[in-house]
Every structure is written in structure tokens, then in C-alpha cells.
Structure 1
Amino acid sequence: MRDRYAAVLPSWWRAVSGACALGAAGAVPFVDAGWPARGAVVALLLVQGTAAGWLMRDRPGAALAVTAAAGAGIQALAPEVGPGILFVVLCAFAWLRPARTSLWGMGAAGAATAAVAAAQGRMVVVWPVAALLAWSWGALGRAEAARRHAEARRAAVEERARIGRELHDVLSHTVSVMVVQAAAADDVFDANPGLARRAVRNLEAEGRQALAELRHFLRSVRDADGGEADGSVPGLGDLDRLAASVTGAGLRVRIQREGMAGVRVPSGAGLAVYRIVQEALTNALRHARAGRADVVLRYADGRLDVDVRDDGPGALTAPGSTASGGTGLAGSGQGIAGMRERALLLGGTFEAGPDPDGGFRVRASLPVGEAT
């Protein structure tokens, strides 16, 4: 897999580079006994290597090349000091560049120092090993930083997906019901003002409910802990209200509960069930031309099964949707995917498609634990 991580050296890098150069410079006075100018040349090479190290954040390749030359010169003139700053820069280079690039730098650094050591009759293997260790440290640091970056990015993507699912489910259902109620009010406005007023009141109630859910959702987004402790998250207890809302818009809904007595469903699973039922009923209302929908909740062996069936003849599914029929989500193509994601995130299963007996059927099974 190609390494696309864009690493940046931390702000303390230059301080570390300078400290290493100063540490090496402390040995310079002890290397000039045989040749007085040698200490000055070594000091200049240290300054050159340090200056190149400071440019590592902007020009890492050039900085490593200059430092390698300086390190080889220091090794040749003052083996007592050694090319330590080169290995510090090599470590930073391995942090900044992918392995396929930084390996060339490691090879060049090891070869340069080993060639000088060989010319001096010293042990050749020491410096290539030191180069390998310096490169490994930087490469491991890069890998760890890349992992943290990928995790943070994945968390952000998942959060955006969660926000998108919630907004879609809240707004899609509410706006659909409001549109149906507004159309009904307009149809009977002159012939039956009382019925029109009732439709308008239902429209107002749906709008208020949507605002309440949106306010809670925005609080949960702002709250780092999820903000679900106030009990305003919709769940199984809100399904009857949901059914009444959809029934008022023209789709008769019947809810059956089997084996649910004494079952305590976690809030996350309850929210998922509510949203799945809400989306299925919304699509039956909007797209299926259905007159009736049956919702069955069944608990058995630690799992909660949800079964939603409508009696619609089915509507053509919009391009990009994964199913056809009543809840085929004509026009958006997102609802079925959102329901499936909710079920799979909780370790459950999900199916949606035309029912052989007619209409459209949505089924989900979620693990909820043993009944208490």
C-alpha cells in the first residue's frame, strides 16, 4: 500500500539538532593537538551539519546530503567526535519521507561513513549498523504517527456518516409527513375546514417534534460524551407516537410486540430500531402507494427482530438504489443504506426487498442481550 502520510517534524526538532551539535562540539578542543587547524575545520563542519539539520523541515533531501558530507568529513578528521549529527538528521529524514525514499538516504549515510572508516583502518560495520538504527527509529516514529492520523481521520469520517444518517432520518420522515398533511389540508380547505384545521395542527405537531429532535441531536454533536443521558433520544417507547403520526398522514400502521415483556433494550439498539422503522414507514408513505403497514417486534434468544411490511404495489426505484419496491427510496437512494449501516454497526443483520406475498419488506435483527 502506498504511503501517502504527510509527516511534519515537531517544533522541538531544531532544539534537538542544536543540542546534538553542541554535544559533539564539546569534544573539538581535544582533537587539535596534532593539527591546530583541525579543530577549526571540525567546528565548521559541525556548523554546516547543524545548519543543514535546521533546513530538514523544508528541504529534507538536500539537508541529508549536506549533513552526510559533513559527517563523513568529521569522521575523517576527528574520529573521536564521530558523525553523530548525521544519524540525527537521518532519523528525521526517515520520519519525513516514505520508506522507499528514506532507505536510499540510509544507504548513502552508511556507505559514506563506512568508506571513511575503511580508509582509516577502523571497524567498518559499526557505522552502517548505526545508520540502520537511526533510520529504524525514524521509520517507526513515522509509522506510529501515520497510524494515529489514520485513526483520527477514520473517526471523523464515521462521525460525519453518523450525522448524515441522523439528519436524513429526522428530516426525511418529518418533511414527508408535513408535505402529506399540507396537501391534505389544501384538498379539503373549502369543503371541510375542520378537517383542514386538523391537518394543519398535525403539521404543526410534526414540525415541533422535528425541532425537538434536531435540538437534541445538535446537543449530542456538541457534547463530547454523546449527550444521550437526558432520555430525549427516540426509542421503542416512541414507536406508537411514530405510528400515530404516519397513520394521520394516510398510512395505517399496526405495531405488534412479541416476547417483549420485561426486555430491557439498550438505548443504542432502541434508537436503531426506531430509525429503521421510521425510515421504512416514511418510504412506504412517500413511494410505495401503500395503504397499510405492519410492524412486528419480536424478542428471542438475546436478539430483537424487526419486521416492517407494507401492502403497496411498489414504485420504480431511482437510479443508484439497491432495491425496488415500496421502500425502495425513490429519489434519494440513501435510506436503505442508512438502515443497513445502523444494523451492521450494532452487530446485527439487515434485509430489504419485495415481499413474495406483495408489497415491500424490511427486516433487521439486532443483538440486545438477555432479558432482565
Structure 2
Amino acid sequence: MTTVPTAPRLKRVPPGVWVVLAWSASTVYAILSAVGPHVVGWSPGRFSLWDLLALSGIATVIGGMLLQRRPIVAHTLIVGGAIGGALCLNSTVIAFTQFTDVAVALIFIAGSRPRRTSLTVLGLTLAVLTAYFVARKLASWPVVFSTQTAVALAAVVMWFVGDATRQAREHERDVGAHAMAQAAMTERLRIARELHDMIAHTVGVIALQAGAASMLIDAEPGKAREAVRAIESTSRETLSGLRRMLVSLRNQDSDSQGSAPMPALDDIERLAEATTAAGVRVGVEWHGARRALPPDIGLAGFRIVQESVTNVVRHAGAEECRVAVTFSAASVAIEVTDDGTGGNGNAAASPTGGYGLVGIQERVTLLGGAFEAGPRLGGGFRVAATLPLPADARMEGN
């Protein structure tokens, strides 16, 4: 079971809590810094300054609770709380400290909401600051223009910070989605290659065996039975391979007890025997010091031989096929040749052919190797591939 990583503790704190904490800290700082709550040129009527401060705190708390669901309404309440606190503690200016909670809310909204919403919130913030300044001017109350301008510019900067965070998050999400799509496409291509290589060879062998059984069923029923047995054996082996592939796809995290290892280059002897029994003789030659290969290279080598032999069986019209595997210190070379009709009959070499040689070329390219395929001068067809070995496999061969 895949476990979801736990977010850091600070990220688990809701943004509304940070807003309330910012308002509380800035208010406490302002109270401790001031001689006492006072208002210049303004009287709260029958409400005391502490009542107004309490209402400002309540508005900030409610705004923090609504921040994630109703950002515009929440920000309006948070700005109102900041203005109320400024009126109570320092009516001449809305200082930076008294605007900290607004800055926190603005960063969160700009970083998590669409730009249209965040611009609306920014416009609301600047409008409130402007209205506060104009109202005090009209009432002939003292104001500090430079400080109010700096606070407004700080709000704009906070919006840019939050918007940049949102864009970076969206870019990261897009890159992740693209990478996942690419990985899924690569996996689909890999599965398609495996299924094609596995089934195409089996169907070719079965077709040959079925044709032989049909011709011999009356004249030589014993050989016909052997052909039918070969069809049964080949079919069971292919079904077993398909079952292993499906189990691997369904549960790639665990090792299934019934699963068998994927075929490797050493298994081409068995492949040659099955193809020879189907009517096309396959001779295998080994050159150089044979040694264990990495699983991906071993599987690729087996599939290259399998697909090449399948093309010979289905399209070349040949009676014999030769497979040569050459080990060197830095690579393993595979060559499959036949004496059939070559490019004139090999579907893989024709413009309208299937995906056989295309799949081989993809495998070789993914492993950084070289690939050649084409008719032979003396007749027939030739497929050659060279797969480079990693450093550890090369050292083993030296």
C-alpha cells in the first residue's frame, strides 16, 4: 500500500489561524508600544475603545474562518479589523505592524486563488487605504502620507509574492502532469512491444503447425498429433507469459510466488527449438565469452531474436534461419539472417509492414545501441543489433 507523505507541521496550520495570530501579535505590540489607547479627533460614542478593539478582533477571527471558503468576504472583514485596530491604537496612521494580518491574507489569496479573485482583493485593500486617508484629510485629522503610501506599496508587493507562488505551483503541477503522461505513454509502448513480440511469434508458430497438421492428418496422423501437441504447448506457454505480465501490471510492488522471470538471451535456444519444430530450422551460434547480462539487455536481446525469427516464419518463405550472438568486452551483438525472399517478402521491410522492426529499433535506441535491417546481397534478409553493456557488465567480461 502506498503511503501519502505527511505535510510539514507548519503547512498543516490553516491560513486563517496565521491571520488571527498576526493580528493578535501586532495588536499586542501596538498596545505595549503606545502610552494607552487614544483617538485624535474621533469619538466612539457610547462604545469604549476596548469595545471597538474587541469588535475588530471578532471580525478578524470570522474573516480567518471564511478565508478558504469565501476569500473576498473574509478579506473584507480582515481589512475592517485592521482599520478598527488602527483607530483604537494609532489613529494618525495605519502602520505596517497593524497591517500584518492583511498582508498574510493577501499572500494566501493571491497564492491559492485565481488571479481575478486576488486582483479584486488587492483592489479592495488599496481602496480601503485610500478611503481611510481621504476621510482623515477631509476631517482635518493628522495623517502621514509617506507611511500610508509605503503600506499600500507593501500590499502590492505581497500580491506579487503570492501570485508568483501560485504561478510556480501551477508550473510545477503542469510539469508533473506532463511527466506522468510521458511515463504512462512509455509504459504503454513497452507493454505494446511486449505483447506484440510475444503474441506475433506464437501465432506464427501456431499457423505453421496448424497447416502441417491439416496436411498430415490423413496421411500421417502421428505427425499431425505431434503438430497439435506443439500448438498446445506453444499456446500454454504464451498464456503463461500473458498471465505473468498481467500479474506484474496489477501488483508491481510485490513479488508474486507464481511469477517467473522474464525471458533472457539464454532462452533463444528454447525459442530455436520451438521454431524448428514448426518447420523453419533455426541455428544458433555463440561467439565470445558468454556471461550473465543485465535483465533489460537480456530481455531486449531475446525480443530482438524472437521478432526477427517471427518475421522469417511469417514472411520470408525461408526454410532456414541463422542466429549469431557475439559477446565482446563492451557490447553484445545479435545478427539474424535467412535465405528467403528478403525485402520482397519480408513484411517488416516493406513500407506497409507491421511494427516488428519498429519495435526492435525502439528497444535498441532506448539502450543506446545500433540497429540495421535490410535485404542481403546474396538473397534473404538480415537484422543486426549491437547493445552496449554497462560498466559493471563490461568489467565482468574483461
Relative to the length of structure 2, the TM-score reads 0.71
Provide the C-alpha distance between the structure 2 equivalents of 1:209 and 1:229, rounded to a whole number of angstroms: 14
Superposed CA deviations along residues 234-263 of structure 1, whole A, max 9, x for unmatched, are 11211111112112222222222222x243
5 Å-filtered alignment, 1:20-59, equals: 20-24=18-22, 26=24, 34=39, 35=44, 36=49, 38-39=52-53, 42-43=56-57, 45-46=59-60, 49-50=63-64, 52-55=66-69
Structure 2 residue ranges without an equivalent (≥5) = 1-9, 32-36, 86-93, 134-143
The CA deviation string for residues 126-146 of structure 1, in whole angstroms up to 9 with x for no partner, is: 222222333333433444444
1:285 aligns with 2:283: no
Letter of the aligned partner of 2:111 in structure 1?
Answer: A
Give CA deviations for 1:95-152 in whole Å, capped at 9, x if unaligned.
465xxxx3x6666655654565564632243222222333333433444444444434
- Which shows bigger deviation, 360-369 or 143-152? 143-152
Task: Give the number of the structure whose alpha-carbon radius of gyration is greater.
Answer: 2
Cα deviation, 1:164-223, whole Å, max 9, x if unaligned, reads 222222122112211221121012111111110111121122123223323333343323
Identity %: 31
Residue 217 (structure 1) aligns with:
245
Two-structure CA RMSD over aligned residues (Å): 3.8
The residue number in structure 1 matching 2:233 is 205
One-letter amino acid of the structure 2 residue matched with residue 363 of structure 1: A
Structure-2 change in CA distance of 1:88 and 1:191 (3 Å): farther
Is 2:295 aligned against 1:267?
A: yes
CA offset at residue 15 of structure 1? 6.0
Partner SS for 2:14: helix
Structure 1 contact 74–83 (Cα < 8 Å) conserved: no
Rounded Cα–Cα distance in structure 2 between residues aligned with 1:204 and 1:180 = 13
Distance in 1, Cα, partners of 2:158 & 2:246: 54
Q: Distance in 2 between matches of 1:360 and 1:93?
A: 65
Indicate if the aligned counterparts of 1:310 and 1:326 stay in contact, CA closer than 8 A. Answer: no
Q: 1:45 to 1:112 in 2, by over 3 A?
A: same
Other-structure match for 2:210? 182
Match of 2:165 among 124, 132, 137: 137
Q: Note if contact 1:110-1:128 (Cα within 8 Å) is conserved in structure 2.
A: yes
1:94 to 111, 134, 137: 111
Q: 1:19 aligns with which of 17, 33, 36?
A: 17
8 Å CA contact 1:272, 1:343 repeated in 2: yes
Whole-Å Cα distance in 2 between the matches of residues 348 and 184 of structure 1? 39
1:238 to 267, 272, 277: 267
CA distance in 1, matches of 2:220, 2:340: 28
Shift, 1:68, TM fit: 5.1
What amino acid maps onto 1:295 in structure 2? V
Contact 1:287 1:328 in 2 (8 A): no
Which structure shows the higher helix fraction? Answer: 2
Give 1:156's aligned residue.
184
* Cα pair 2:71 2:109 within 8 Å, conserved: no
The alignment of Structure 1 onto Structure 2 pairs a total of residues equal to 343
Q: Deviations over 1:29-73 (max 9, x none)?
A: 988864447446645653664465232xxxxxxx55445545554
Deviation at 1:87, TM superposition (A): 4.0
Partners of 2:268 and 2:280 in 1: CA distance: 15
Distance 1:184 1:33 in 2: 107
Partner secondary structure for residue 325 of structure 2: strand
Q: Residue type matched to 2:67 in 1?
A: G
Q: Mark the runs of 5 or more structure 1 residues left unpaired by the alignment.
A: 1-11, 56-62, 317-323
Check if 1:296 corresponds to 2:324.
yes
| TM-score, with length taken from structure 1 | 0.75
Contact 1:48-1:70 within 8 A present in 2 as well: yes
| Partner secondary structure for residue 18 of structure 1 | helix
| 1:59 alignment counterpart | none
Report how far residue 85 of structure 1 moved. 5.3
CA contact (8 A) 1:287 1:330 kept: no
